[in-house]
């Protein structure tokens, strides 16, 4: 981990695998797209005799899935469990929607099952750049060269990016592929 | 570190139920009392026959009222004497000492709705909750169970602070409140938190029901008021640094016995909840009566406010 971040205390996302949580009374699975991890979860829920609401990007685009999840959780009641799987950008964006609706950490499971490319929030123009794989990358909004910092916003579902040569203009660090 | 106390005058004593009295405490010389957050308690120095008892009581008034604190005290004859002292020795007009408010039961600030459940005297912190939540515009519902109509305390205070939010239950064993709660807990919007204060069996039943209905631990909050009913036997401890032996008679806590010797241990709750008075031990097996200390520390420390000696010699690392 860069800069010696304490993994015990950091707010950086902690992903794992998806395990069916029988303590919940309603289960919402959000996949972008379906994969073996999600199929296994659905099978476990079925064999426990539980209904699952499934949203996935196979039939609708990411924007539509985010929208649907927001609507669904706005009407949901305490007792729901949410499971998110997909590439890092999809998981972080859906998690932000879930948190905004009031979901707490012990009601949410996340698994990054595809690309680890990050969503990066530009601290200068506030645009979120999707699919950032390198430690230094251009902002999709203002074009500044951003350094991707190890600071994560749950609300934005994105990592913090700031102008890489802000301290020493013109001195840009070499980009490294960190999140393929 | 000497504890700062605040001198207050007993401005009013109200018989709320056959067992519960409210004490209205006002500052001397008009100096405002500290504002507090809902769920706070004050440690009251209760005058006794031979010694002062220091008992925590929840503040049952509006958090912004700085010219009056209200506490409600249930008389427990089989207790250690604090509540009996409040009932028998504290009179209208008396000046008594309290310690500044501390909070071990604050409402979750991120909650967008609260379900509050009280049993008996456990209702006291929810008076301040009702004031604070009503002011902040956070919706809540308060379910309050008591043994019989004559045991209902603070109903007027609660109704004034939470119009429309109060449901009451006459309940000896928790069945009525549980039946009422089943439907309520099954239909709460995301963002709701549940807080419970009352007798341990009732709290366990309510939390059990919530878990059954899918509530995760992070939405569940409880305030135990430890009614330590296990028998207390005298014992002694030794201080590792000086080899001094201190006798703890049955009617005192280890914390009180240490204080009597001039050994000041920091504390907040004096009932085994907050962890402030954690004291390391070097020998012996404590009889742990707190709900704070994790099991892996049971061999290395104890909470002298409630814990006693299971097998001596008990040697404190003091």
The domains of chain B are located at: 6-103, 113-223, 235-316
The per-residue pLDDT for A59 is 78
Q: What is the CATH number of the domain that holds A90?
A: 3.40.50.80
Distance from CA of B208 to the nearest CA of A (A): 12
pTM of the model as a whole: 0.89
Same domain, A49 and A75: yes
Looking at the complex, does the CB of residue B195 fall below 8 Å from at least one CB of chain A? no
Least Cα separation, residue A139 to chain B (angstroms)? 32
- Asked, for residue A16, whether it belongs to a domain, the answer is no
| Percentage with pLDDT > 70 across chain B | 98
Confidence label for B162 from pLDDT (cuts 50, 70 and 90): confident
Closest chain B residue to A70, measured at CA: B190
* pLDDT value at B123 more than 90: yes
Answer whether residue A7 shows pLDDT above 80: no
Residue A54, Cβ density class (10 Å: 0-12 exposed, 13-18 middle, ≥19 buried): middle
The minimal CB distance from A25 to the residues B190, B214, B217 is found for: B214
Q: Residue B214 and residue A76: Cβ atoms within 8 Å?
A: no
Indicate whether B116 pLDDT > 80.
yes
The answer to whether residues A94 and A138 belong to one domain is no
Res. B2 pLDDT band, cuts 50 70 90: low
Cα–Cα distance, B134 to A99 (Å, whole number): 25
Q: Quick one: closest CA in A to B189, which residue?
A: A77
Range of the domain at A76: 26-112
- When scoring A78, A82, A101, A155 by the number of chain B Cβ atoms within 10 A, the one with the most, hence best to mutate, is A78
A91 and A54 share one domain? yes
Residues B190 and A73: beta-carbon distance below 8 Å: yes
Check residue A77 and give its pLDDT: 96
Question: Which of B187, B211, B218 is the closest to A77 by Cβ?
Answer: B187
Task: Determine the CATH number of domain B113-223.
Answer: 3.40.50.80
- Alpha-carbon separation of residue A81 from A25, A103, A168, B157, B215 (angstroms): 8, 8, 47, 38, 10
pLDDT score of B160? 87
Domain count, chain A: 2
User: Hey, what CATH topology would domain B235-316 get?
Assistant: Ubiquitin-like (UB roll) (3.10.20)
Instruction: Say yes or no to pLDDT of A1 above 50.
Output: no
First to last CA, chain A: 16
A126 vs chain B: nearest CA distance in angstroms? Answer: 25
pLDDT at B28 exceeding the cut of 70: yes
- A57 and A96 housed in the same domain: yes
Q: Check whether B5 has a pLDDT greater than 90.
A: yes
Give the closest-approach CA distance of B109 to chain A in angstroms: 12
Report the pLDDT value the prediction gives residue A5, as an integer from 0 to 100.
67
Q: How confident is the model at residue B78 (pLDDT cuts 50, 70, 90)?
A: confident
Q: In the structure, what pLDDT confidence band is assigned to residue A33 with cuts at 50, 70 and 90? A: confident
Q: Give the homologous superfamily in CATH for domain B6-103.
A: Translation factors (2.40.30.10)
Distance (Å, whole) CA B306 – CA B266: 14
């Amino acid at each position: 981990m860069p800069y010696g971040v304490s993994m015990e205390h950091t707010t950086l996302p902690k992903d794992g695998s998806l395990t069916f949580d029988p303590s919940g009374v309603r289960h919402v699975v959000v996949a972008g797209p379906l994969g073996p991890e999600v199929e296994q979860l659905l099978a476990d829920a079925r064999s426990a005799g539980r209904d699952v609401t499934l949203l996935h990007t196979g039939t609708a685009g990411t924007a539509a899935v985010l929208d649907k999840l927001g609507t669904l959780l706005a009407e949901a009641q305490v007792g729901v469990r949410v499971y998110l799987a997909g590439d890092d950008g999809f998981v972080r964006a859906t998690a932000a929607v879930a948190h905004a609706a009031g979901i707490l950490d012990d009601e949410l499971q996340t698994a990054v099952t595809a690309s680890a490319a990050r969503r990066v929030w530009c601290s200068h123009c506030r645009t979120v750049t999707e699919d950032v794989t390198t430690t230094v990358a251009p902002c999709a909004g203002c074009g500044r060269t951003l350094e991707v910092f190890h600071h994560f916003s749950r609300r934005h579902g994105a990592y913090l990016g700031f102008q890489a040569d802000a301290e020493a203009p013109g001195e840009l660090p070499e980009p490294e592929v960190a999140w393929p | 570190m000497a504890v700062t106390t605040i001198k207050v005058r007993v401005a009013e004593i109200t018989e709320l139920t056959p067992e519960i009295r409210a004490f209205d405490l006002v500052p001397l010389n008009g100096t405002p009392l500290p504002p507090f957050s809902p769920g706070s308690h004050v440690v009251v120095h209760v005058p006794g026959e031979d010694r002062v008892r220091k008992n925590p009581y929840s503040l049952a008034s509006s958090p912004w009222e700085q010219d009056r604190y209200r506490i409600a005290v249930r008389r427990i004859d089989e207790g250690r004497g604090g509540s009996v002292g409040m009932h028998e020795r504290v009179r209208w007009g008396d000046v008594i000492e309290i310690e500044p408010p501390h909070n071990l039961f604050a409402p979750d600030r991120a909650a967008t709705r609260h379900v509050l459940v009280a049993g008996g005297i456990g209702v006291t912190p929810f008076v301040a909750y009702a004031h604070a939540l009503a002011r902040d515009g956070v919706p809540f519902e308060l379910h309050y169970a008591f043994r019989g109509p004559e045991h209902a305390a603070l109903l007027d205070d609660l109704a004034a602070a939470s119009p429309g939010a109060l449901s009451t239950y006459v309940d000896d064993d928790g069945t009525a409140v549980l039946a009422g709660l089943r439907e309520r807990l099954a239909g709460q919007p995301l963002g709701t938190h549940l807080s419970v204060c009352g007798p341990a069996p009732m709290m366990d039943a309510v939390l059990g029901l919530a878990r059954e209905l899918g509530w995760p631990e992070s939405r569940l909050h409880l305030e135990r008021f430890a009614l330590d009913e296990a028998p207390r036997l005298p014992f002694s401890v030794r201080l590792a640094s000086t080899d001094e032996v201190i006798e703890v008679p049955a009617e005192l806590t280890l914390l009180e016995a240490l204080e009597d010797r001039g050994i000041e241990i920091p504390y907040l709750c004096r009932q085994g909840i907050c962890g402030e008075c954690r004291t390391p031990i070097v020998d012996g097996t404590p009889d742990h009566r707190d709900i704070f200390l994790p099991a892996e520390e049971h061999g290395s420390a104890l909470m002298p406010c409630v814990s006693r000696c299971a097998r001596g010699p008990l040697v404190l690392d003091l």
